[in-house]
Structure 1
Amino acid sequence: MGGHLFIINGDLNKIACDAVLLPTDSAFTIEPKWNGLIEGYRDEVPDTWDGLKVVPLGRRHKKPRVWLGNVGQYGEQSESSAFAPVIEEFVERATTEVKSTPQRERIYEWPLPRLAVNVVGSGKGGGRGKKGELTLGLVETLTGLAHKHEVDIVLVTRGDRAYAAAQWARRKFLRNTKERDTWPLREDLISKAEALAEDAKERQLVLFIGAGVSAGAGVDTWKGLLENLAVEAEFTEAERELLKTKDLRDQATLVESALPKTSATFKKRVADRIRERQHYSLMHGLLASLPSKEAVTTNFDELFEDAVGRDAIAVLPKDPRKTDGRLLLKLHGSVDRHDGMILTRADYLRMPRQYGALMGLVQGLLMMRKMVFVGYSLSDEDFHDLLDEVRAARGDDMTDVGRGTVLTLRDDHLERRLWKSDLDTVPLVAGDEYEDDIPGAARQLELFLDLVGYLAVPPAAFFLDEAYADLTASESELIEPLAELVKLTARSGKHTVGDQVRAFLMKLGAGATQAQRILSAGYRPS
């Protein structure tokens, strides 16, 4: 199995992986934006590098190993070659260490070591004036290292501009390569990825996120949680075996009634167990990076919110605040309001009254968007309930245009036949491939979503940012006239055509600092 470079738009502090590179400098200066990584480790930061380029901090059970990297350079024009030696040493040493780490110590049993880096040097590291060359060189270096060391590397960019630039850099790097050579998927999967990418670009996708997405973050399944809580409730071994034969909703009811009545309610116990996992999975990151405005989940955790960014998404029903239009509908409640979580049979019976308005919103989405189900088993009751909402919303008007897609790990021709009127079932593995290897099959889904993200992102977000000039050379003839428009609209008042043009130019990477520089220079159109 060859290694792969994954690219997401997210937060390096919170990504689930085996090891993460924390950028610093010769004096071990750590920027506040990395507080999430350095918290709990500050006392372990050494006084000297001792000739090394990277230094690991202490291990923590089921948490990423943090490695400090000396990437500090003077000025703003450092190129990727200045940072490559640090990245190479990190990948080589961290990969070697992960391969000798017991599986029980890892967050999840990923098939290959999983490392994470940011766009090294793009902040205060010395390369922020050369972000285009830096990003292109980083993509090339990381791709080569992933293959050489058989390791999966996640490049975590921050913001739409950096993410679009990284994907465009990958496109330039792979311009003479077939997609299947980079993403080892069947031809039908590549075609499906292309179709989903087109829907994503048109903002037509609504994501339905199931428990399988959180598995890669080490979150236990609901079935597994109930088994553990049954032990806590002192069920005998025979009772636990009998309990497994019951519907999960009834299992929850029985466990709740058997647990000691202490200050920790059943729902709080469940919420506390789920909250033990604080890092979002790669799959969360890949889904959050897609240009999709709406998502629906039956999960209780807050990991998708972490992947998107808490300030960038409105979570319904608890937080109907205004964002840029991005919504997450949590149909079964959330760990931060555990009393409202839907767990037992009684909870499910109350659900139409408790979340009736929310279900109406879901039905409205189903009428207008194309559905993609990820992380659901076709036999899940949650999945069946969601499909019933689909049928209720669409009635007999289901067309090929309105059909949903469910991404499954394996093919089940009987399940496919069962849902053929409602869904296109897309199995990621065929035959006995990855038999009894769920992590390996899940990685195929991650590769598929990485391809969708690669195909769905246009280069517009960074086009007018001067720091990315090395990535825009092929269309450089557009830069000058667009830059002139930036100048012409710099003083445009609100609610004018110039104001609308300026908003469009900012989407192309013409930032507020650029406009302010123009104003400070006293520009007047000729």
Structure 2
Amino acid sequence: MERLREAYRSGQLILFVGSGVSANIGLPPWRRLVDQIALQLDYDPEVFGTYGNFLSLAEYYRIKKGNIGGLRSWMDREWHQNIDIRESAIHRMIVHGRFASIYTTNYDRWLEYAHDAYDVDYVKIANASDLAKARDGVRQIIKFHGDFDDDSTIVLDETSYYERLQFETPLDIKLRADTLSKAVLFIGYSLSDTNIRLLFHKLSKIWSRHERLGVRPISYVFSHKPNPVQEEILSQWGIRMLSSETDDPGLALCRFMQDLVED
């Protein structure tokens, strides 16, 4: 924890924000999205959910509808209502934290809305053209899996997911460059999430190639419960797992962020 604090205090820490942070403010679970796909395709949600995993069901939706525009519109409406972001302690600490930049795999706009609420300047980066908007001294919010303002950037179905696994887009290249000089803290992620585990693995490969130059950073993932098996696996990839003894995931994350940011 002390090494993490050192990276944080010196402005050498990148924050990576997952869906657990959005769930903490009451956004609906992924099951609601699967049910919505079923309803828009005139299927019984209970039956439709047995036809494949989320990625394949979203892929089927894209094939049948021609695009994901209707689903994206529903998500945009459903995920952005009746929430006062100032009531989220985690978002307040993220906004006021000393994070060099913030990456997120969330599509929603709550990170941006939180910065707006506290009048903190930022640049949103969701595609290659946005990279030119970056300015010295201004925080970057990198929408790693896309943004509601640009349907083409959203990683939702199997095709977009497998393309993301190639790890060769402009945002991937930016991430590789950023993480060679700074540590990364992952919050709001499930350790069973295959997507984030692949990201860990790919980053570890990049870091190991540069280790002989003495530039391999130590990065961190927060989990609300200890897990010695995952801790050992992640350690070989250069990822340190930090955990809590608090059963409630939201409360555990809030206390962890408070310990880091308000130290």
**Which one of the candidate residues 219, 225, 228 is aligned to 1:404?**
219
1:306 counterpart SS class: helix
Structure 1 residue 258 displacement after superposition: 5.3
Unmatched 5+ residue regions in structure 2? none
Q: Relative to structure 1, is the Cα distance of residues 223 and 393 closer, same or farther in structure 2, using a 3 angstrom cutoff?
A: farther
Look up the match of 2:244. 428
Per-residue CA deviations over 1:369-408 (Å, capped at 9, x if unaligned) read 1110000011113312321331242134458962211001
Structure 1 residue 298 displacement after superposition: 0.7
2:53 aligned with 1:247, yes or no? Answer: yes
Look up the match of 1:198. 6
Structure 1 residue 270 displacement after superposition: 2.9
Q: Relative to structure 1, is the Cα distance of residues 355 and 342 closer, same or farther in structure 2, using a 3 angstrom cutoff?
A: farther
Query: For residues 58 and 67 of structure 2, what CA distance do their matches in structure 1 show?
Result: 17
**Which one of the candidate residues 328, 336, 342 is aligned to 2:155?**
342
Query: For residues 69 and 209 of structure 2, what CA distance do their matches in structure 1 show?
Result: 47
2:224 counterpart SS class: strand
Which amino acid in 1 is paired with 2:187?
V
Query: For residues 142 and 69 of structure 2, what CA distance do their matches in structure 1 show?
Result: 27
Look up the match of 1:372. 185
State how many pairs are aligned.
252
Look up the match of 1:313. 122
Native 8 Å contact 2:126 2:147 kept in 1: no
Native 8 Å contact 1:200 1:291 kept in 2: yes
Native 8 Å contact 1:312 1:323 kept in 2: no
RMSD: 2.9
Per-residue CA deviations over 1:126-185 (Å, capped at 9, x if unaligned) read xxxxxxxxxxxxxxxxxxxxxxxxxxxxxxxxxxxxxxxxxxxxxxxxxxxxxxxxxxxx
Native 8 Å contact 1:279 1:303 kept in 2: no
Could you list the runs of 4 or more consecutive aligned residues of structure 1 that deviate by over 4 angstroms after TM superposition?
261-264, 352-355, 396-401
2:70 aligned with 1:265, yes or no? Answer: yes
Native 8 Å contact 2:126 2:142 kept in 1: yes
Look up the match of 1:304. 111
Bigger radius of gyration, 1 or 2? 1
Native 8 Å contact 1:205 1:292 kept in 2: yes
Query: For residues 46 and 73 of structure 2, what CA distance do their matches in structure 1 show?
Result: 26
Look up the match of 2:176. 363
TM-score (norm 1): 0.44
2:106 aligned with 1:293, yes or no? Answer: no
Structure 1 residue 294 displacement after superposition: 1.1
Query: For residues 209 and 53 of structure 2, what CA distance do their matches in structure 1 show?
Result: 30
Native 8 Å contact 1:363 1:393 kept in 2: yes
1:420 counterpart SS class: helix
Unmatched 5+ residue regions in structure 1? 1-191, 435-439, 456-526
Native 8 Å contact 1:268 1:339 kept in 2: no
2:58 counterpart SS class: helix
TM-score (norm 2): 0.82
Higher relative contact order (CA 8 A, sep 6+): 2
Q: Relative to structure 1, is the Cα distance of residues 452 and 263 closer, same or farther in structure 2, using a 3 angstrom cutoff?
A: closer
**Which one of the candidate residues 220, 223, 244 is aligned to 2:28?**
220
Native 8 Å contact 1:275 1:335 kept in 2: no
Query: For residues 270 and 233 of structure 1, what CA distance do their matches in structure 2 show?
Result: 16
Per-residue CA deviations over 1:257-316 (Å, capped at 9, x if unaligned) read 456x89962333333333336543322221222111211111101111222237611111
Percent pairwise identity: 18
Structure 1 residue 409 displacement after superposition: 1.3
